[in-house]
Amino acid sequence: MSTLKRLAISVGDLNGIGFEIILKAHNTIKQLCNPLYCINYTMAHQAANLLHTQIPNDFQIFNVPGEFVIEAGKVSAQSGQYSYDSFIAATELAKNNHVDAIVTLPIHKEAWMMAGIHYVGHTDALRDIFQSDAIMMLGCQKLYVALYTEHIPLREVAKHIQIDPLVSFLLQLHQTTEHTPIAVLGLNPHAGDHGVLGDEERFIEAAIQRANETLGQEVFIGPIVPDIAFTPHFRSRYSMIAAMYHDQGLAPLKALYFDEGINISLGLPIIRTSVDHGTAFDIAYQNKASLLSYNNAISAAVTFKMIKRGKH
């Protein structure tokens, strides 16, 4: 009997590159895990036909009802709804201990909105499902970036820089990764230049001090000037960075490690990893998709251990 971990794979938006990645990587990842794909055979065969290939004989599915015509590169409510249903199916399998972890392929946020789904993405939904303060962390072994705020308008970020929630975020980040040291970025250019360019850094500094005092050691360093944090010299000293907002952390991270990066949800009672890229509608069903991020996400799901659970 196989001792490989069982992973539920949500197929993402079928109008994008997710299913191409699944089929092309299948023979590789089945050496690492027992994959269970959350889709039905009608949709799987339709996607395979568009890729001019066939479903492997050992392709195991968990049936997700629903049928629609796949339209490569098109944002649609039907594809958005099916990607959500696939994701929820994978999540329920993990929640009920039928699988050891889940790996998610990319969804399209506008397609979710068109389908009437009120979540802006996977992590947002997982927080609600598990009533957990999940942290979105992206990257690879060379560098991980955890996000304090995620999918909110840039104009809203500054008002979220408050001491108590930032302390909670920092402590949970250390608790779930046991990583040290962790660099914490300032919000403003030059980390505010001592109040010349903004004063949010005083809250960040206070949160860092309180978190370190709670832990009894200097885990968090900062606030760090954001424009130096991703330089080679800095990366040689710090392999984990806490960013204040989405693009502050992810724009430089993806410039450095786009193909190999993954997404890990911290602080959940299940293990969830994902690719670190979108649906790539511009190359959907053209057999051009890279497999590296997906293969790394699978490997991380297999090897990742929940050190401590987040708050529930």
Q: For the whole model, what pTM was predicted?
A: 0.88
CA distance 144 to 261: 9
Sheet holding 6-10, edge to edge: 61-62, 34-38, 6-10, 101-104, 272-275, 262-266, 135-140, 143-147, 240-243, 182-185, 220-224
pLDDT band at 195 (very low <50, low <70, confident <90, very high): confident
* pLDDT value of residue 311: 32
* pLDDT over threshold 90, residue 213: yes
* pLDDT over threshold 50, residue 198: yes
| 3-state SS record for 249-267 | HHHHHHHHHCCCCEEEEEC
CA distance 126 to 268: 8
Where do the domains of the chain lie, and which CATH numbers do they carry?
1-132+267-312 (3.40.718.10), 135-259 (3.40.718.10)
Question: Is 226 strand, coil or helix?
Answer: helix
Residue 192 · residue 201 · CB < 8 Å: yes
* pLDDT over threshold 50, residue 310: no
Number of H helices, E strands in the chain: 11, 11
The mean pLDDT of the chain is 94
Per-residue tokens: 306: 């929940």
The proportion of the chain whose per-residue pLDDT surpasses 70, expressed as a percent, equals 97
CA distance 276 to 255: 12
CA distance 65 to 85: 8
* pLDDT over threshold 80, residue 1: no
Of the given ranges (153-157, 182-186, 190-194, 234-238), which has the lowest mean pLDDT? 190-194
Q: What is the mean pLDDT of residues 120-138?
A: 93
Q: What is the mean pLDDT of residues 276-303?
A: 95
* pLDDT over threshold 80, residue 284: yes
Eight-class DSSP state of 105: -
Per-residue tokens: 20: 């191409």
pLDDT tens track for 225-256: 999 999 999 999 999 999 999 999 999 999 99
Instruction: Using DSSP bridges, classify how beta strands 220-224 and 182-185 pair: parallel, antiparallel or unpaired.
Output: parallel
**Identity (one letter) of the amino acid at 83?**
S
Q: What is the mean pLDDT of residues 268-294?
A: 96
**For the stretch 2-41, what's the b/e string if a residue is b when 16 or more beta carbons lie within 10 angstroms of its beta carbon?**
eeebbbbbbbbbbbbbbbbbbbbbbeebbebbbbbbbbbe
Q: What is the mean pLDDT of residues 25-30?
A: 97
The proportion of the chain whose per-residue pLDDT surpasses 90, expressed as a percent, equals 89
CA distance 102 to 91: 7
* pLDDT over threshold 50, residue 131: yes
